[in-house]
Amino acid sequence: MKTKGNKLVNILKEKCPHCGKGDVFYKKQSFFSLPKMKDDCDVCNYHFDREPGYFLGAMYVSYGLAVFQGIATFILCRLFIPQLDTLFVVLAVCGVMTVFSMRNYRWSRVAYMYIFPN
């Protein structure tokens, strides 16, 4: 089955890499717990966790996302608030990385499945 829709949009919406319709993560979760991944796609029954340790590589994707967001925050701070002290720029970068950490965890796993589907 070919993935439906734009892959980047599907990654951002956390959709199955096989059918592009089923959700990869459970919707309702506690705010303080790590996002829980489904074992299989609800629509096409695609098994997400291919093998033990499969998602180890998603750490590199998560790292790349965090670095990108940090650099983007730094550039935006320097462009729009040039008089801002360097300490506050660093705090802003750390804040953005913290706020996006759980989202990056989810996006990195889904993106990793799109990069290495089998």
Shorter beta-carbon distance to Zn ion: residue 19 or 93: 19
DSSP one-letter code for 38? P
Q: Give the interface with Zn ion as residue ranges (CB under 5 A).
A: 16, 18-19, 22, 41, 43-44, 46
Shorter beta-carbon distance to Zn ion: residue 47 or 78: 47
For residue 70, give every residue at least 6 positions away whose Cβ sits within 8 Å of its Cβ, in sequence order, or none.
Answer: 93, 96, 97
- Shortest separation between residue 59's beta carbon and Zn ion, angstroms: 24
Cα gap 48→34, rounded to integer Å: 17
Shorter beta-carbon distance to Zn ion: residue 20 or 55: 20
- Shortest separation between residue 117's beta carbon and Zn ion, angstroms: 11
DSSP one-letter code for 47? B
- Shortest separation between residue 56's beta carbon and Zn ion, angstroms: 23
Token pair 């802003």 is found at: 92
